C-alpha cells in the first residue's frame, strides 16, 4: 500500500542550510526534491524560529511577493511568500520587524551557475512567537545538529558509508540516506566548525551570554586581512555598477583571481561577512556591502 507522506520539517540552523550545495531529485517527476546539507539533513521542508529583520515587497502592489530575512544565531534564512502562499504572505506583510517569528516552508533553490546554490524558503506559515519559543527552537535545532554530527562521525569511520550500518546504529533511515549522500559529496573533514557552531548557538540561550560575537573564533581572526580585502573588492565593484549590489559570481571571480583562494574559502568568507552584518543580500544572488 503506498502512502502519501508529509515531508518532515527540519530544525536546521541557517548556516548549515545555506552551506548546502547538493540537491537530489526523486526517481520520477512526482517525487519531491531534497537539499542534502553538509551534515546529511535531507531537507524539503524547514521549520525555523528566529528574528525577522527585514520584510519587503518585491512584487507589485496588486500582486505582492514578500521577501523576508530571518536570523538565527548562525546566519540568515531567506524567506518569501507570494500568491501561492496567501496566508504566509498576509502574515509577513503585517509583521513589523524586528520580531520573533516561526517560519514553516519548502526549500527552493537558485543556481546562478554550476558551483553556486542559493537557498530560500517558500513560507507556508509565518507567525509571531515569543523569545521562549525561539530559545526552545534553538535547543531542538542543536539536538538535531548533534545527532547529524555524530552520524557523520560514525560514517567517516566506515570504509564505504552504508545506510544499513547507520540504521543498525540507531539512526533514522531518512537521515542515514542523507548522511551517505553528504559523505559522498562534501568534504567530511572540518566538522569541528559545526561542533563549535552548536556550542555557540546553545550559549546564546544562556542568561550570561551578552551580545558578544562568539562567532569570532581564533581561526577566523587570522584571515581578518583577507576578509577586509574581500569587502574592498565588493565596494570597488559596486562603484562600477548602477544596480543595487553586485552579483555573487562577479565578486567570486574577482576575489578568486585576485587572492588565489579556493571556492569554499570564498564561500566561508562571504557567509562570515553576512553573519557579521557587513554584507547584505538585496536579492537572491546579489550582494552588497552594508556601509
Partner 1 sequence: MNEKELAPHIEDINRALKGKVNSEQIEEELQKFRSEYRISLGDAKRAIVKKFGGDPLELYLNPEKKINEIRGDERSLDIKARILSLQDKEIEIEGKPKTIFYGILGDDTGTVPFTLWEAKSLDLEKGDTVHLKNAYANTWNDQPQVNVGSMAGICILDDHEVPPFEREPQQCMVKDIREGMRNLVVTGRILSLEKKSFQTDDGEKDLFSGVLGDESGKIQFSAWHDFRLETQQVIRVTGGYVRSWRGIPQLNFDDSAEVETLDDSEIPSSDVLKDSSNMTISQLARRGGAVDAIVDAVVIDIKTGSGLIFRCPECNRVVQKGACRIHGKVDGEADLRVKGILDDGTGALTMIMTRELTEEVLGYDLDRAKELARDRMDQDIIKDELEELMIAQPMRIRGNVTSDEYGLMLVATEVKFKRIDVEAEARRLLDEVSV
Residue 7 interacts with partner 1 (CB under 8 A): yes or no: yes
Q: Greatest CA separation found in the chain?
A: 61
The verdict on 42 binding partner 1 (CB under 8 A) reads no
Q: Does 79 bind partner 1 (CB under 8 A)?
A: no
Q: Least distance (Å) from partner 1 to the CB of residue 45?
A: 8
- Scanning 31-39, 56-64, 203-211, 231-239 for contacts with partner 1 by CB under 8 A, the matching segment is 203-211
44 is a contact residue toward partner 1 (CB under 8 A): no
108 vs 174, which CB is nearer to partner 1?
Answer: 174
Is 39 among the residues that bind partner 1 (CB under 8 A)? no
Does residue 8 bind partner 1 (CB under 8 A)? yes
**DSSP assignment string, 174-238:** HHHHHHHHHHHHS----THHHHHHHHHHHHTTSTT--S--TT--HHHHHTHHHHHHHHHHHHHHH
| Minimal distance, residue 248 CB to partner 1, in Å | 26
Nearer to partner 1, 56 or 135 (CB): 135
Give how far Cα 85 sits from Cα of 16, 92, 106, Å.
25, 10, 11
Is 194 in contact with 149 (CB distance < 8 Å)?
A: yes
Cα–Cα nearest to 119, from 198, 28, 21: 21
Q: Which of 111, 143, 235, 258 binds partner 1 (CB under 8 A)?
A: 143
Restricted to residues 224-243, the positions that interact with partner 1 (CB under 8 A) are: none
Residue 33: burial class (beta carbons within 10 Å; 0-12, 13-18, 19+): middle
User: Residues binding partner 1: what is the number (CB under 8 A)?
Assistant: 47
Stretch that binds partner 1, among 32-40, 111-119, 204-212, 279-287 (CB under 8 A): 204-212
Decide: 15 and 32 in contact? Cβ < 8 Å: no
For residue 123, report the phi and psi dihedrals to the nearest 5 degrees: -75, 130
Residue number with CB closer to partner 1 (85 or 286): 85
Answer whether 249's CB lies under 8 Å from 266's CB.
Answer: no
- Euclidean distance between CA atoms 273 and 255, whole angstroms: 14
Name which position in 196, 247, 264, 289 contacts partner 1 (CB under 8 A): 196
Stretch that binds partner 1, among 69-77, 141-149, 243-251, 272-280 (CB under 8 A): 141-149
Residue 137 CA, distance from chain mean position: 15
73 three-class SS: coil
User: Among 61, 73, 70, 76, which Cα is nearest to 125's?
Assistant: 70
**Which part of the chain contacts partner 1 (CB under 8 A), choosing from 168-176, 210-218, 230-238, 266-274?**
168-176
Query: Taking CB under 8 A as the rule, does residue 258 contact partner 1?
Result: no
**Rule CB under 8 A: is residue 102 a binding residue for partner 1?**
yes
Q: Given the rule CB under 8 A, which residues bind partner 1?
A: 1-11, 47, 49, 102, 104, 124-125, 127, 129, 132-133, 135-140, 142-144, 146, 159-160, 162, 167, 172-174, 195-196, 198-199, 202-203, 205-207
Amino acid at each position: 500500500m503506498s502512502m502519501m507522506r508529509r515531508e518532515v520539517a527540519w530544525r536546521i540552523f541557517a548556516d548549515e542550510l545555506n552551506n548546502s550545495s547538493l540537491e537530489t531529485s526523486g526517481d520520477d517527476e512526482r517525487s519531491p526534491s531534497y537539499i542534502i546539507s553538509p551534515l546529511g539533513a535531507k531537507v524539503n521542508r524547514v521549520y525555523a524560529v528566529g528574528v525577522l529583520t527585514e520584510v519587503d515587497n518585491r512584487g507589485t502592489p496588486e500582486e505582492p511577493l514578500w521577501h523576508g530575512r530571518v536570523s538565527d544565531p548562525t546566519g540568515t534564512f531567506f524567506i518569501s511568500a507570494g500568491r501561492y502562499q496567501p496566508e504566509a504572505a498576509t502574515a509577513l506583510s503585517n509583521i513589523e520587524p524586528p520580531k520573533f517569528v516561526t517560519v514553516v516552508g519548502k526549500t527552493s533553490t537558485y543556481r546562478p551557475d554550476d558551483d553556486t546554490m542559493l537557498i530560500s524558503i517558500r513560507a507556508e506559515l509565518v507567525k509571531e512567537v515569543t523569545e521562549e519559543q525561539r530559545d526552545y527552537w534553538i535547543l531542538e535545532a542543536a539536538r538535531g545538529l548533534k545527532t547529524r554530527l555524530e552520524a557523520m562521525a560514525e560514517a567517516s569511520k566506515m570504509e564505504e558509508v552504508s545506510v544499513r550500518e547507520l540504521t543498525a546504529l540507531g539512526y533514522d533511515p531518512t537521515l542515514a540516506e542523507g548522511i551517505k549522500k553528504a559523505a559522498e559529496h562534501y568534504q567530511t573533514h572540518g566538522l569541528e566548525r559545526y561542533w563549535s557552531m552548536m556550542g555557540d548557538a546553545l550559549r546564546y540561550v544562556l542568561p550570561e551570554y551578552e551580545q558578544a560575537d562568539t562567532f569570532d573564533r581564533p581561526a577566523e581572526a587570522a584571515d581578518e586581512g583577507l576578509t577586509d580585502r574581500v569587502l574592498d573588492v565588493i565596494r570597488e565593484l559596486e562603484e562600477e555598477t548602477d544596480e543595487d549590489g553586485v552579483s555573487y559570481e562577479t565578486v567570486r571571480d574577482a576575489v578568486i583571481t585576485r587572492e588565489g583562494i579556493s571556492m569554499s574559502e570564498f564561500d566561508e568568507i562571504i557567509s562570515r561577512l553576512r553573519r557579521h552584518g557587513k554584507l547584505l543580500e538585496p536579492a537572491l544572488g546579489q550582494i552588497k556591502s552594508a556601509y
